[in-house]
Structure 1
Amino acid sequence: MTEAAVDAPRAGGGNRAGGRTGRRGRTAGLLVCGVLLAVPSALLVVRLTGLDAGTPLAVPLVLFPYGAAVSVLVLGAVLAVPVLRSRWAVAVVALLTAAQVALLVPRFVPHQQQVPAAAAELRVATLNAYVGRADPRAVVRLVRAERIDVLAVEELPSAGVTALAEAGLDELLPYKELHPENDSSIYSRLPLTHGGPLDADTAWPQTTVDVTVGGRTVRVVAVHTYYPLGDADRWTRDLTALSSVARTSGPDTVFLGDFNASLDHAPMRDLLASGLTDTHAELGRGWARTWPADRTLVPPLIQLDHVLHGSGLAGVSVGERTVPGTDHRAVVAVLALNRS
């Protein structure tokens, strides 16, 4: 009887110790989850409020899709690990995750328009040549393989123009609007009209041309904006200027190039709201990545290069292609004229 009376308190003390250990484990686990969700939460606030426009917050915002992926993993952990599971923890993480997913899902759902089978098509491509370092022979192979009609090349100096000519690009795309002094140039298989620098307040002049496709005139603008890491305000003004141009360009318009922006940036969303459609999002290719493309151990992480078009065209296909020598992947798109 005496021994039993002595043993009882020991058992009770062990349970209390186990309870304290469990509570400490839950606290530590939830603290880790909170730390992991701090950045995704901050990015969500920036994304919802547009605080990236004209501010350095534009730089980390490119990681918004990755933040959403982290939130999904944390939600899975909270649901799967008993010590972390609680109503408030699940509710908070689920709400954060739902908000991020709701913003991302539309770009993964194809919403291309129906176009007649016999509709005329325009095959376009854009490439940032990395100050002329892109392999010119690889560029020519890309143009030939993809049967490109119009090629926009950014960061193309005079030496790069010469190298592309020597590699045989002029034989495939004989019509040209070359402006190495202004950074971007346009090559075409089809005759060009009304070419020259775009009348817009951008850091460096954008090159524009008109091309006739299926009896209709399509305006093409080779885009290269300033970069937010260098001057976020200048970058915002560039995209704002392009938005003004897009609003008056009509439905048969293509803006393609290195926008130095993702679909999550407020100035980029404003540009799309001016009457343009991102071909990747239109075709459900929401996780395309074009930069950086010159790292041995790091794959491309974010999409800075886009093909945008007006309502007179519809995306048929879009993809990315690696060109040696440059830090950007090329973007190739087929666009159909979807109305008479």
Structure 2
Amino acid sequence: MPRLPHPSRSRRPIAICGSLIGALGVLLSLVRFVDSAGSWIVPTLQAGAPWAAGAAAVGVVSVLLAPRSRTAWVCALVSAANIGAALILVAPVPPGEAATGAAAADRATVVSFNALYGNGDPAELLAEAQALDADVLLLEADHDYVARLDAAGAAQRFPYRLVSDASGGAATAMLSATPLDEVALAPEDEMRFASWAADVRIGGETVRVRAVHPVPPLDGRAEVWRDEIGALDTWVSSTPGPLVVAGDFNASAAHPVFRGLCAGPGALAGCGSIFAPPTWAPREWIPPVLPLDHVLTRELAVLDRGAFRVSGSDHRAVWATVAPVGQR
């Protein structure tokens, strides 16, 4: 009668595969502490940090399948290290405060959306913005897209607007229900894609609102991406008072340079954690996989926040309802 293979030996390949996947997870977990962007490789690996914990689950399963295998126990240790690395310095996402403390006139809802070269459905976007009673729209969009929004009725809701002369993905627009004051457009050597800043009155307070869209860290532009977010950090430090900074940052809490925006005195809030809800997908029909779009604030109470889908874009629109701290 032929001898049957020992169960732990027959499952050893599973344990080995689990160990390799667990080791990859540790790499993804730890690389997010590397503050370097010499090439696209580092920021791309950092973006995969939210998926690192999944590799730990594979390691645990391999231990269960081969409990007597030394390789499996090595895998278990790797998985434990993976989980620990994934949780280190994870900033908690503050829960939204009840949106009942401030009167409607004392709050404002800011919506940010990357229209993907104008492919995002303008009628859908406007309908969602109206349902939220939005006050400010920050768009990665050009004059043509704003004209299509106006055709859907946006001009009545948002009569005040700033639209850059750039086209496609390099363009930025700011549409508002109330006047925009102290308007400024960031110089091109600071932000390659247009970036508007303007003052908006919210609950009797002047709030500086800025629309941002750093370049993606691809195609040899990783250093540019890092420099642009660094320049934004410098701008935040030198700009007094309440702030709203929103847009497609092409970054998440897995990237050290982005986490820097929410670190230190006078920093922004809202960077979240590596497990923040994802807002971008490589294809429209794929569920979102990375949290690249954000609404960051300073010296403001965030009453509520969320995201919604707009057909035609690979990005979710993100929004936040804010009020001056003293009027919650």
For 1:107, what is the secondary structure of its paired residue?
Answer: coil
The 2-side partners of 1:286 and 1:278 are apart by 13
Runs ≥4 residues deviating over 6 A = 112-116
Q: Where do 5+ consecutive residues of structure 2 fail to align?
A: none
Question: Aligned AA for 2:304?
Answer: S
C-alpha separation between the residues in 2 aligned to 1:129 and 1:214?
Answer: 29
**Which position in structure 2 is the counterpart of 1:50?**
35
Indicate if the aligned counterparts of 1:107 and 1:285 stay in contact, CA closer than 8 A: no
Alignment gaps of 5+ in structure 1: 1-9
1:35 to 2:35 alignment: no
Q: Is the 8 A contact 2:203 2:323 kept in 1?
A: no
Residue aligned with 1:36, SS: helix
Aligned match of 2:178: 190
- Which of 187, 193, 204 is matched with 2:193 structurally? 204
SS of residue matched to 1:176: strand
**Aligned amino acid, residue 330 of structure 1:** A
After superposition, where does 1:225-264 map in structure 2 within 5 Å? 225-230=214-219, 231-264=221-254
Task: Name the SS for the 1:239 alignment partner.
Answer: helix
Q: Which residue of 2 aligns with 1:129?
A: 115
Aligned to 1:5: none
Shift of 1:338: 1.1
Q: CA deviation at 1:327?
A: 1.7
285 and 116 in structure 1: CA distance in 2 versus 1, 3 angstrom threshold: farther
Identical pairs, percent: 28
Match of 1:7 in 2: none
Post-superposition offset of 1:96 = 2.2
Q: Distance in 2 between matches of 1:70 and 1:316?
A: 35
| Distance verdict in 2 for CA 1:130–1:116, change over 3 Å | closer
- Preserved CA contact (<8 Å) 1:123 1:147: yes
- Residue equivalent to 1:94: 80
Whether the aligned pair in 2 keeps the contact of 1:114 and 1:338 (CA below 8 Å) is no
AA aligned opposite 2:15: L
Partner of 2:101: 117
* Greater Rg over alpha carbons, structure: 1
SS in 1 for 2:15: helix
Q: Contact (CA 8 Å) 2:19, 2:78: kept in 1 or not? A: no
Residue aligned with 1:278, SS: coil
Deviations 1:299-340 (A, max 9, x none): 111111100011x11222111111112221101211122138
Counterpart residue number, 1:304? 292
Contact 2:26/2:78, CA 8 A, preserved across alignment = no
Corresponding residue SS for 1:308: strand
Distance (Å, rounded) in 2 between the aligned partners of 1:30 and 1:251: 55
Residue 251 of structure 1 deviates from its aligned partner by 4.0
* 1:325 aligns to 2:317 (yes or no): no
User: In the aligned structure 2, how far is the partner of 1:87 from the partner of 1:159?
Assistant: 59
Find 1:157's aligned residue among 131, 136, 142: 142
Q: Distance in 2 between matches of 1:64 and 1:58?
A: 10
Q: What does residue 259 of structure 2 align with? A: 269
Shift of 1:64: 0.8
Q: Per the alignment, do residues 98 and 79 of structure 1 end up closer, same or farther by CA in structure 2, a change over 3 Å counting?
A: farther
| 2:182 aligned counterpart, secondary structure | strand
SS for the counterpart of 1:91 is helix
- Report the number of matched residues: 317
Contact 1:219 1:254 (C-alpha < 8 Å) held by counterparts = yes
Q: More displaced, 118-127 or 262-271?
A: 118-127
What is the RMSD computed on CA atoms of the aligned residues?
A: 2.8
Q: Is the 8 A contact 1:257 1:306 kept in 2?
A: yes
Distance 2:98 2:129 in 1: 27
Which one of 143, 162, 173 corresponds to residue 177 of structure 1?
162
More moved, 240-249 vs 38-47: 38-47
- For 2:17, the aligned partner's letter is V
Instruction: State whether residues 128 and 153 of structure 1, in contact with CA within 8 Å, keep that contact through their aligned partners in structure 2.
Output: yes
- Larger deviation, residues 183-192 vs 57-66: 57-66
The worse-fitting range, judged by mean Cα deviation, of 145-154 and 190-199 is 190-199
What's the offset of the Cα at 1:111? 5.7
Give the deviation of 1:95 after TM superposition: 2.3
- Cα distance, 1:250 vs structure 2: 2.5
Match of 1:219 in 2: 208
